[in-house]
Amino acid sequence: MTTRKIISHSIQAPTVTVPGSKYLANRYIVIAALAGGVTTLRNLPQNDDIEAALEAVSQLGARVSYVDDGVVEIEGITNFQLDSDITINCRDSGTLSRFITAVASNMTSDVVIDASEQMKQRPMDEVSQSLRELGVVVDSDKLPIRLRGPILGGVVELDTSRSSQYLSGLLIACLRAESDTRILLKGKTVSSSYIQLTKDAIARFGGVVSEVSDTELLIPAKQQLRATEINVASDVVSSSYFMAAGLLAETSIRLESFDFESPQGESQFYMVLEKMGAEVVKQGESLVVGYKGPLKGIDVDMGDMPDVVPTLVVLALFAEGKTNITNIAHLAFKESNRIVDLCDQLNRLGANIEYSNDSIHVSGGQDLQLSNLSSCHDHRLAMSFALIGIRLPGVVVEDAQAVEKSFPLYWEFLEKIGVKSEEL
Ligand SMILES: O=C(O)C1=C[C@@H](OP(=O)(O)O)[C@@H](O)[C@H](O)C1
Ligand SMILES: C=C(OP(=O)(O)O)C(=O)O
């Protein structure tokens, strides 16, 4: 475990281009594995989750070639019956665990899906139960899970009130099912914009998913997906840390190649900042977020922007007045419990944050005292906590290497924009 102290900053209107989106990459990699031919992915982010995804599809028989920096070719699986059992390690990735459990259900030989101890605590029941209903043999509702396909198809009820990833995984996996699949949604779908991200990714490979109604989806059977060439757009969540860094340093920040077209909820985080009083300017493909004066607390529903809640809470600590964040019960099932762990850690600074099972209430402008903050092995807490050092130099982030999950170069990126930190 590494510990980092944020020492000082000298941020002055920097320009940043963040790496490619892990969200898009996760989708393209598994869909490419099911497609015929060779897919080329450019601007692929290099991080632990994506490494695990590439390893997983290559274990299933896709041929993965590293062509150049950030360029990978994936030749789709041709033989869905492997000679021996395999065990896939999803490490800390919830997205991969949910997606690959469904995708590997197309194999007619045994596959074991495993993951880190942290990931094993996150729910998988909805995935295993729905796959069983679709004809897959699944031995457990918790990781590690041993399964054997194929996916026969049919009608399945799916509860998407804890995670949208269950549905995204099924939409991708059932493209190859033996007969049509109808998915009937139960409960309120959380993080619903991620479903559109999945549908768009499927469409890029020529796949079809029809929306029969708000609660029913139809996936035609035995689809022949076509390999393609994709330049992975930039990561909208990684961008959030630099927007926040600029505002905390009372300067502006320019994000180049910002993915304005993304359906992912977090791509609209700049609008939340605008509501708090930031100046936001779109210049071609760049987004400039500027400081106009102290930010103001707001009331905001973050149900569809789950992954930038830690960034927002850190900003809210330094805003005037109260920020009330609602509709976030699903944050309990992330790498950490992103309601309880996030707030308990920040309260070590004397922040006085209140929370319930689906909301966080931050009173800005409290007197903060230096303290060590544990990331709780959650990359998003590590990256957000580091930003506090811009206002409170000396803050220490424990378990700082958690950033490797999505953004291993985070500390170097911070250094480049003028935030100095050191490993203790
Ligand atoms: O489909 C995806 O890529 C993701 C969906 C969201 O999860 P939930 O649907 O579980 O909220 C998000 O928090 C996660 O980081 C990635
Ligand atoms: C929750 C996250 O990822 P995952 O669910 O894939 O572990 C995240 O990246 O913030």
Average pLDDT over residues 304-322: 98
Instruction: Check if 191 has its Cβ closer than 6 Å to any atom of ligand 1.
Output: yes
pTM: 0.98
Q: Which residue's alpha carbon is nearest to atom 3 within ligand 2?
A: 94
Known binding positions for phosphoenolpyruvate: 22, 94, 122, 165, 338, 380, 405
Number of domain units in the chain: 2
94 CA from centroid of ligand 2 (Å)? 6
Instruction: Check if 406 has its Cβ closer than 6 Å to any atom of ligand 2.
Output: yes
CATH of the domain at 116: 3.65.10.10
307, 341, 378, 399: the active-site residue: 307
Known binding positions for 3-phosphoshikimate: 22, 27, 163-165, 191, 307, 334
Average pLDDT over residues 358-368: 97
Last residue of a domain, one of 219, 252, 281: 219
Banded model confidence at residue 394, pLDDT cuts 50, 70, 90: very high
Beta-carbon contacts of residue 183 (< 8 Å; ≥ 6 apart): 130, 156, 157, 158, 167, 170, 171, 174, 216, 217, 218, 219
| Rounded distance between C-alpha atoms, residue 108 and residue 85, angstroms | 10
Last residue of a domain, one of 219, 254, 279: 219
Q: Helix or strand or coil: residue 288?
A: strand
ipTM exceeds 0.90, yes or no: yes
Instruction: Check if 164 has its Cβ closer than 6 Å to any atom of ligand 1.
Output: yes
Percentage with pLDDT > 70 across the chain: 100
Q: Which residue's alpha carbon is nearest to atom 10 within ligand 2?
A: 307
Sheet holding 181-186, edge to edge: 154-159, 181-186, 216-219, 210-213
Q: What is the pLDDT of residue 308?
A: 98
Task: Give the pLDDT confidence of 255-287 residue by residue, as tens digits.
Answer: 999 999 999 999 999 999 999 999 999 999 999
Percentage with pLDDT > 90 across the chain: 99
Q: Any idea what the Cα angle at residue 174 is, between residues 170 and 177, rounded to 5°?
A: 150
Instruction: Check if 105 has its Cβ closer than 6 Å to any atom of ligand 2.
Output: no
Q: Could you tell me the residue range of the domain that residue 213 belongs to?
A: 22-219
- Residue 191 in any domain: the answer is yes
Q: What is the pLDDT of residue 84?
A: 94
307 in catalytic set: yes
Q: What is the pLDDT of residue 73?
A: 98
> Do 403 and 261 fall within a single domain?
yes
Number of the ligand 1 atom closest to the C-alpha atom of 164: 9
> Do 43 and 90 fall within a single domain?
yes
Last residue of a domain, one of 219, 250, 282: 219
Task: Give the pLDDT confidence of 38-95 residue by residue, as tens digits.
Answer: 999 999 999 999 999 999 999 999 999 999 999 999 999 999 999 999 999 999 999 9
- Is the CB of residue 259 less than 8 Å from the CB of residue 233? yes
Q: What is the pLDDT of residue 139?
A: 97
Q: Which residue's alpha carbon is nearest to atom 8 within ligand 1?
A: 163
Is 344 exposed, middle or buried (CB count within 10 Å of its CB: 0-12, 13-18, 19+)? middle
Mean pLDDT of the chain: 98
Banded model confidence at residue 324, pLDDT cuts 50, 70, 90: very high
| Rounded distance between C-alpha atoms, residue 243 and residue 254, angstroms | 8
> Do 142 and 208 fall within a single domain?
yes
